[in-house]
């Protein structure tokens, strides 16, 4: 009897979940289907399958637009953010970790936590500040801005991880006369590898998809990163080219989609799990 | 004496590890958002050489009592409230359903988490296409099922921010879900076993055990949701006319207006928005702090 009931409720769970899942999958259908439609087909036949598959859309995305340049820009921004970010975050986390328990450590920690609560809406001041340091209208500015804005989250995450390393390990290394650099290279970094992978994934997604920083900081179209380029190339006033936009969106999201399918666990932990801290 | 000196020296040394990162963070990510606080009391055209005139609290007054601006405050409140009301129960429902499944849970959480890896541009413009009054699939579906009366120009309605929230939830529901998953694993199985012995049914168990014990998690999600909702920019901005900054759309929230406010000729107004948001966030955080202390006291 109870067995029956649990079985029934299992089926009910499946039914409700599948219904919600269908609602979730529905937009993906349009991304894929519309990418293969022609302009007129899109107007006359908004929900059906394409009457004729237009593979030409994918060619047109690249022809006569700066999408390719933007892919290069986005790769540069992501690589720069990940490399600079990891170096800076590991160094500052190590420093914070060694200062734990001191007044200075506590003060620095509270500054980070307070900083996270400041609403980031000083857009105009951002432009003025970046301009002052010659970081306006170049990719370096976007990279450093991304590194800076992800700092509190990443640092707290790494410090949290370092705290799980047994103190003895570090003390004995210190006793053996290891310098800080040796300690970092041979003890801390190897032990922090899982959390560094998490942060790499977080930074990759964040830098590849960020909208506001490139929107504020980049003026020249040749510098645009992918999100800005996709939005401005296919959405000129009065004539949005949805079919080309979807083709472009599909191509530029593909590497991410494939990586996600294979490394789903890392993504879920990297993007969501980190929030639990 | 000498050990103390060594200690001081090492303090300084570790500070050097932190300093580059902190300097970068402060200058690029914190300073610009603090620097607007004093500006909120001035009228200023935004140019570094422009004259700043002291206007006291006028920027704030204008903001709340001039209908064309106070409208934006309501839009932002609508955004935050609907984000809380739609996202939290949905995330709770989906997560508990997945959690109670014997197998297949990984597949479902994989699907719900998936949109997180897409950019806000791809996600928002996909939905913009679906909301489109002529090309859009939502209206097309409505006319197929015979609900022609419901067909409308979605983004021109007064409640348009709610449709931006739908996108927000669709895109980011993976985040609250992972937090809830973590909360669910902390609930000991023994509580459910005891309830089973007493003959409690699934719904009773959910409302008597699961929900009360998830309360700290839910409060945490509420805090995060209110803050992200209050700063929401991407979805509302992208649903509006993206080819130009000149037009205000029905979807615009405070953050979007701050971005477009360059046209207004007074940088004191967007600065006032920053100040008000800061005050609201601090209040929300204080409330969160006290409420979560009280619920924790109740549980233990």
Partner residue opposite B118 with nearest CB, options A10, A216, A253: A253
Q: How far apart are CA A73 and CA A143, in angstroms?
A: 11
CB contact under 8 A, B18 and A144: no
Nearest CA in chain B to A230: B121
Q: How far apart are CA A252 and CA A258, in angstroms?
A: 11
Lowest-pLDDT range of B105-109, B215-219, B221-225: B105-109
pLDDT (tens digit, 9 = 90+) per residue, B89-116?
999 999 988 888 777 778 888 889 899 8
Note the pLDDT of residue A130: 96
Rg (CA), chain B: 24
| Complex confidence, ipTM | 0.89
**Measuring CA to CA, how many Å separate A68 from each of A60, A71, A222, A254?**
12, 5, 10, 15
How far, in whole angstroms, is CA B27 from its chain's centroid? 24
pLDDT (tens digit, 9 = 90+) per residue, A91-145?
999 999 888 888 888 999 889 888 888 999 999 999 999 999 999 999 999 999 9
Evaluate whether A173 touches A187 at the Cβ level (below 8 Å): yes
Domain count across chain B = 1
Helix (H, G, I), strand (E, B) or coil at B54: strand
Q: How far apart are CA A169 and CA A167, in angstroms?
A: 5
Beta strand extents in A79-221 (DSSP E only): none
In a domain, B279, yes or no: no
The mean per-residue pLDDT over the stretch B81-87 comes to 96
Note the pLDDT of residue B138: 85
Alpha helices (H) along B114-210: 120-131, 137-144, 160-172, 174-185, 189-197, 202-205
- pLDDT above 70 for A248: yes
In a domain, B251, yes or no: yes
CATH of the domain at B130: 1.10.3720.10
Class (C level, CATH) for A66-233: mainly alpha
In a domain, B28, yes or no: no
Query: Hey, of B59, B126, B204, which one would you mutate to test binding to chain A, going by the most A CBs within 10 A of its CB?
Result: B126
The mean per-residue pLDDT over the stretch B56-78 comes to 87
Higher pLDDT, B106 or A175: B106
* Size of the A and B interface in Cβ pairs below 8 Å: 265
In a domain, B289, yes or no: no
CB contact under 8 A, B25 and A99: no
What number of CA atoms fall less than 13 Å from residue B249's CA on the CB side? 23
Note the pLDDT of residue B4: 44
Note the pLDDT of residue B295: 82
Give me the residue label for tokens 């450093």: A144
Q: How close does chain A come to B136, measured CA to CA in Å?
A: 7
In a domain, B43, yes or no: no
Evaluate whether B93 touches B211 at the Cβ level (below 8 Å): no
Span between the terminal Cα atoms of chain A, in Å: 42
Helix (H, G, I), strand (E, B) or coil at B32: helix
Give B224's contacts in chain A (Cβ within 8 Å): 275
Note the pLDDT of residue B298: 67
Q: How close does chain A come to B43, measured CA to CA in Å?
A: 14
What number of CA atoms fall less than 13 Å from residue A243's CA on the CB side? 20
pLDDT band at A148 (very low <50, low <70, confident <90, very high): very high
Lowest-pLDDT range of B75-79, B82-86, B168-172, B289-293: B289-293
B188 burial level (CB within 10 Å; 0-12, 13-18, 19+): exposed
pLDDT band at A74 (very low <50, low <70, confident <90, very high): very high
Helix (H, G, I), strand (E, B) or coil at B53: strand
Lowest-pLDDT range of A169-173, B144-148, B197-201, B243-247: B243-247
In a domain, B65, yes or no: no
Partner residue opposite A148 with nearest CB, options B28, B36, B113: B28
Where b means 16+ CB within 10 Å and e means fewer, B229-248 reads bbbbbbbbbbbbebeeeeeb
Give A253's contacts in chain B (Cβ within 8 Å): 117-119, 122
Q: How far apart are CA A111 and CA A152, in angstroms?
A: 10
Higher pLDDT, B49 or B93: B93
In a domain, B188, yes or no: yes
pLDDT > 90: percent of chain B: 41
Q: How far apart are CA B57 and CA A231, in angstroms?
A: 38
Which domain does B197 fall in, by range? 71-264
The mean per-residue pLDDT over the stretch B60-87 comes to 90
Note the pLDDT of residue A2: 58
Nearest CA in chain A to B128: A242
Q: How far apart are CA B16 and CA A108, in angstroms?
A: 13
CB contact under 8 A, B267 and A273: no
Note the pLDDT of residue B90: 95
pLDDT (tens digit, 9 = 90+) per residue, A34-49?
888 887 888 778 788 8
- pLDDT above 80 for B264: no
Lowest-pLDDT range of A147-151, B106-110, B171-175: B106-110
pLDDT > 90: percent of chain A: 34
Note the pLDDT of residue B171: 94
Q: How close does chain A come to B137, measured CA to CA in Å?
A: 6
Residues sharing a CB contact under 8 Å with residue A89, sequence separation 6 or more, in sequence order = A151, A154, A155, A158, A199, B21
Helix (H, G, I), strand (E, B) or coil at A57: helix
């Amino acid at each position: 009897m109870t067995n029956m009931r649990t079985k029934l409720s299992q089926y009910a769970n499946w039914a409700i979940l599948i219904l919600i899942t269908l609602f979730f999958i529905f937009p993906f259908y349009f991304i894929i289907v519309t990418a293969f439609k022609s302009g007129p087909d899109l107007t006359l036949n908004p929900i059906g399958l394409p009457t004729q598959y237009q593979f030409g859309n994918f060619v047109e995305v690249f022809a006569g637009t700066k999408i390719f340049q933007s892919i290069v820009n986005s790769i540069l921004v992501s690589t720069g953010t990940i490399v600079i970010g990891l170096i800076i975050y590991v160094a500052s986390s190590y420093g914070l970790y060694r200062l734990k328990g001191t007044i200075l450590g506590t003060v620095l920690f509270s500054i980070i936590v307070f900083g996270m609560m400041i609403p980031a809406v000083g857009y105009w001041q951002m432009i003025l500040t970046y301009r002052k340091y010659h970081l306006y209208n170049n990719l370096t500015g976007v990279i450093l801005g991304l590194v800076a804005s992800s700092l509190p989250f990443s640092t707290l995450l790494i410090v949290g991880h370092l705290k799980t390393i047994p103190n003895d390990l570090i003390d004995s290394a210190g006793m053996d006369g290891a310098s800080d650099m040796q300690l970092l290279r041979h003890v801390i970094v190897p032990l922090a590898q899982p959390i560094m992978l998490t942060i790499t994934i977080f930074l990759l997604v964040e830098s590849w998809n960020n909208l506001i920083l490139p929107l504020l900081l980049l003026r020249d179209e040749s510098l645009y990163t992918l999100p800005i380029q996709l939005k401005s190339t296919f959405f000129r006033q009065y004539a949005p080219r949805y079919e080309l936009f979807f083709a472009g969106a599909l191509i530029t999201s593909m590497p991410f989609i494939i990586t996600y399918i294979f490394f789903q666990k890392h993504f879920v932990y990297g993007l969501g799990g980190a929030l639990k801290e | 004496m000498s050990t103390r000196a060594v200690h001081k020296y090492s303090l300084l040394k570790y500070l050097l590890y932190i300093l580059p990162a902190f300097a970068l963070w402060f200058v690029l990510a914190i300073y610009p958002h603090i620097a607007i606080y004093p500006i909120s009391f001035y009228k200023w055209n935004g140019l570094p050489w422009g004259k700043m005139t002291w206007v006291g609290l006028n920027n704030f007054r204008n903001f709340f009592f001039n209908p064309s601006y106070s409208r934006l405050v309501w839009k932002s409140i609508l955004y935050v409230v609907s984000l809380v009301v739609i996202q939290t129960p949905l995330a709770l429902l989906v997560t508990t359903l997945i959690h109670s499944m014997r197998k297949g849970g990984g597949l479902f959480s994989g699907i719900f988490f998936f949109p997180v890896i897409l950019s806000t541009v791809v996600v928002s413009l996909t939905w913009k296409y679906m909301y489109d009054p002529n090309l859009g699939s939502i209206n097309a579906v409505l006319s197929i099922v015979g609900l022609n009366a419901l067909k409308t120009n979605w983004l021109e309605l007064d409640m348009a921010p709610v449709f931006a929230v739908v996108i927000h939830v669709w895109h980011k529901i993976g985040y609250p879900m992972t937090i809830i998953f973590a909360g669910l694993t902390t609930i000991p199985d023994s509580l459910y076993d005891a309830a089973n012995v007493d003959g409690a049914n699934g719904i009773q168990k959910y409302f008597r055990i699961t929900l009360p014990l998830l309360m700290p998690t839910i409060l945490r999600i509420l805090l995060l949701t209110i803050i992200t909702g209050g700063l929401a920019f991407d979805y509302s901005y992208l649903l509006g006319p993206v080819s130009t900054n000149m037009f205000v759309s029905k979807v615009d929230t405070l953050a979007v207006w701050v971005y477009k406010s360059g046209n207004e000729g007074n940088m004191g107004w967007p600065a006032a928005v920053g100040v008000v948001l800061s005050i609201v966030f601090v209040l929300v955080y204080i409330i969160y702090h006290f409420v979560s202390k009280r619920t924790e006291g109740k549980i233990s």
